[in-house]
Amino acid sequence: AMSDLNLPLIVITAAHGLPDGANKAFGRYFRMVRYEEAVKWPEEERKAVVGVVNFGHFHIDGKFCKKFTSLKVVSNIGVGVDHIDVKDLKEKGIYVGHTPGVLSTTVAEMAFTLMLAAARNLIQADRYCHSDRDVPSSRPTNMFMGQDLYGKAVGIVGMGAIGKEIGVRCKAFGMKIFYHNRKPCTKQEETTAGSAKYCENLSELLKISDFVFLVVPLTKSTRNLISTNEFKAMKTTAHLINVARGGVVDTKALVNALKTKEIASAALDVTEPEPLPLSHELKELPNAILVPHIGSATRECRLRMTYMALDNLRLGLSSNSLIRTPGEIPTESEVEKINARYQERLEAEDHKLT
């Protein structure tokens, strides 16, 4: 959208467009052009671009920045920045912003939804009722037997902001919470996260957990974190829930573990590759629940993410500072403040953006 020509120019990298309400929010302060358009411009015109707003998995690195030589800020709508070469950009003096905190409760709710669906065979039961196999007169009484959440052990791999919110919710359901992190949380944080207990060893956590949640960023050290040995360590009755990144799990090993019933099921918001090709093995498996990376896909959450990305962009351009840069771990009180700020703003702005 070409608006006021005096506004700073930004490029949008988002294969399927920005979240609802974002065009209006950014449009107040910036002229926006889609990446596909901007690339065709002559070099002289591309020099006007000062910022990039990214939504989705568009690869941004030094090579990308050569196309826009006046670039100052890359603002990512989302937490994960495995598609952005942060180090490369920093060396070029370009700020990178992301949006942690504002999606923690939403993604935790999704993780919880996946756990409930897995524990009670919800998806299979729904499919059954929608199919012509469901003959009410001869319906067996012991169909789709699930398991209680109450009293079960939960293993949270990655006790960051999202992990803590998962802990809070599991505690409310009467579950026992264990977690694995590079280093233990403070006693206060453990208490807040549902009286969580630290497991120094990942395999020790996997051995005792009935439900395993993956909530770590994708890095060199977390790629294929869950592979053949890890599935061997898990209970045969355990469920794996991944709301992190597909690459944290070794897909081949996962398919094998599900086929051989080494674990009970997997519920995945993310996969490797993503999206899965049409004929992928995971799609054939009845004990795999698959959803298309919708962990933060609520209206409220996407707006909070949008506002934060907008603030990151404006701050980066005006005062050379950002609310959030990848790699800085926000403290609990910082996360709470960020959350409260954007929740208030959501409630105040809501009527303007619909």
127-143 residue pLDDT tens: 998 988 777 777 777 88
Q: What is the pLDDT of residues 290-334, one digit of tens each?
A: 999 999 999 999 999 999 999 999 999 987 677 666 666 666 677
81's CB contacts (< 8 A; 6+ apart) are: 96, 98, 326
Looking at 274, 332, 334, 349, which residue is catalytic?
A: 274
- Residue 136's SS3 state is helix
Q: At residue 354, does pLDDT exceed 60? A: no
Claim to verify: residue 273 and residue 216 sit in the same structural domain: yes
Considering the chain, what percentage of its residues have pLDDT values greater than 90? 76
- C-alpha separations of 130 from 18, 120, 134 in Å: 34, 17, 8
Of the three residues 243, 261, 290, the one that is the final residue of a domain is 290
In this structure, are 91 and 118 located in the same domain?
no
Of the chain, the percentage scoring pLDDT greater than 70 comes to 94
Last residue of a domain, one of 243, 272, 290: 290
Query: 83, 223, 280, 293: which one is catalytic?
Result: 293
Same domain, 330 and 344: yes
Which residues, in sequence order, are CB contacts of 337 under 8 Å at separation 6+?
none
Residue ranges making up the domain that contains 98: 9-102+298-353
Q: Are 77 and 309 in contact (CB under 8 A)?
A: yes
Cα distances (angstroms) measured from residue 158 to each of 47, 200, 244: 41, 12, 9
- CATH number of the domain bearing residue 23: 3.40.50.720
pTM summary value: 0.87
8 Å CB contact between 189 and 164:
yes
Domain assignment present for 4: no
Instruction: Establish whether 324 is a catalytic residue.
Output: no
**Does 3 fall in a domain?**
no
Q: Is the pLDDT of residue 40 over 80?
A: yes
d(CA 56, CA 59) in angstroms, rounded, equals 9
Q: Average pLDDT of 63-76? A: 95
Residue pLDDT, tens place only, 265-286: 999 999 999 999 999 999 999 9
Instruction: Indicate whether 123 and 244 sit together in one domain.
Output: yes
Is residue 164 located within the same domain as residue 238?
A: yes
Q: What is the 3-state secondary structure (H, E, C) of 181-242?
A: CCCCCCHHHHHHCCCCEECCCHHHHHHHCCEEEECCCCCCCCCCCECHHHHHHCCCCCEEEE
**Domain contains 137:** no
Same domain, 310 and 270: no
β-strand partners of 289: 267
Decide which of 290, 315, 344 is a domain's last residue: 290
Give catalytic status of residue 293 as yes or no: yes
Q: Is residue 140 part of a domain?
A: no
Could you give the number of structural domains in the chain?
2
Average pLDDT in the chain: 91
Residues 36 and 52 in one domain: yes
Whether residue 1 has pLDDT greater than 60: no
Looking at residue 326, the DSSP 8-state letter turns out to be T
User: Could you say which of 31, 46, 169, 245 is catalytic?
Assistant: 245
Question: Do 26 and 14 belong to one domain?
Answer: yes
- The answer to whether residues 111 and 227 belong to one domain is yes
Domain assignment present for residue 331? The answer is yes
pLDDT in tens, 84-136: 999 999 999 999 999 988 899 999 999 999 999 999 999 999 999 898 877 77
